[in-house]
Amino acid sequence: MLQLFMPLGFLGFVYREIKSSMANIENLFDLLEREPAVRDADDARTLQVEHGRIAFEDVVFNYGDKRSIINGFSLGVEPGTRVALVGASGAGKSTLIKLLFRFYDPVAGRITIDGQDIREVTQESLRRHIAIVPQDTVLFNDSLLENVRYGNPAADDDAVREAIHAAHLDDFVSQLPEGLLTRVGERGLKLSGGEKQRVAIARAILKDAPILVFDEATSSLDSHSEQAVLSAFRDLAQRHTTLVIAHRLSTVVDADRIVVLRDGAIAESGAHGDLLSRDGEYARLWWAQQARETVPA
């Protein structure tokens, strides 16, 4: 999902980066070669977000082959709430997020934000209103300060510092040889998975979009790092309508609603306690993960 962060004016920088570095080169070529699958309607309007309510209405989708991936998915995400998407690998969680960003259009049904069909608004305005914390954050060969500023290139240094503080990165920064001016990325300091995710959270804080998507890392972070990521994320999520793709159920037990996807449709949905007491698919996934996490490696 690198392209979500990639305003067109940034491509010159990207080319310079390709010339000067081998960092993430596959991702960058992927980005540059990507044909747009959708285009703005001729009369596309600017998305207006007052509350940030998301609605998936009977959404059906496939990737162009016969296999149906999303099968009549309906979900309302109320403003300011946190909804977790969980389910087996391949159930369609990432696909739903790609549809929300309008990388593809549904075959049937629609997705609205505050009542506006996302096919009727410009992609630029749609993506401006959504911040994403991806699984794997791309760092450019530049200082930590500039890497965070990427969330909002117009932000001044104080705003970037505040975002870094709010993303629980102060302790990390205080240990760096040149503080915020320390160079990171392929030719600089390597960051751990948890530190990179907190950089992504700091970028999302700076972007200050009303809708937030958090794609939890599949590989587990060490528990200290995971707690730092989760508490930074929870602070941020309080002020946003939030969708989380969760791989570890323990990280979303306090979500307002957990949606269990199976074959592109909702198998079950509810709060953690309700779902556990129903003793269905969620309870099975929960107990299976608990068993795995308590067995010593």
- Binding residues (CB under 6 A) for ligand ATP: these are 63, 69, 87, 89-95
CB-based burial label for 292 (10 Å; 0-12, 13-18, 19+): exposed
Q: Which is nearer to ligand ATP, 163 or 261 (CB)?
A: 261
Q: HSE on the CB side for 221, CA within 13 Å?
A: 21
DSSP state of 71: E
Q: HSE on the CB side for 10, CA within 13 Å?
A: 15
Amino acid letter for position 19:
K
- Whole-number minimum distance, CB 288 to ligand ATP, in Å? 15
- Whole-number minimum distance, CB 93 to ligand ATP, in Å? 4
85, β-bridge pairs: 245, 259
Q: Which is nearer to ligand ATP, 70 or 130 (CB)?
A: 70
- Whole-number minimum distance, CB 237 to ligand ATP, in Å? 20
Q: Which is nearer to ligand ATP, 20 or 250 (CB)?
A: 250
- Whole-number minimum distance, CB 62 to ligand ATP, in Å? 8
- Whole-number minimum distance, CB 245 to ligand ATP, in Å? 6
Q: Which is nearer to ligand ATP, 69 or 118 (CB)?
A: 69
CA angle, residues 225, 228, 233, in degrees to nearest 5: 125
CB-based burial label for 31 (10 Å; 0-12, 13-18, 19+): middle
Amino acid letter for position 164:
I
Distance CA 198, CA 230 (A): 9
Q: Which is nearer to ligand ATP, 150 or 286 (CB)?
A: 286
- Whole-number minimum distance, CB 89 to ligand ATP, in Å? 3
Are the C-beta atoms of residues 141 and 188 closer than 8 Å to each other? yes
- Whole-number minimum distance, CB 126 to ligand ATP, in Å? 19
Q: Which is nearer to ligand ATP, 67 or 224 (CB)?
A: 67
Chain centroid to CA 112: how far?
18
Q: Which is nearer to ligand ATP, 95 or 123 (CB)?
A: 95
**Closest alpha carbon to 91 in 281, 282, 274, 266:** 266
**Closest alpha carbon to 167 in 182, 154, 141, 148:** 148
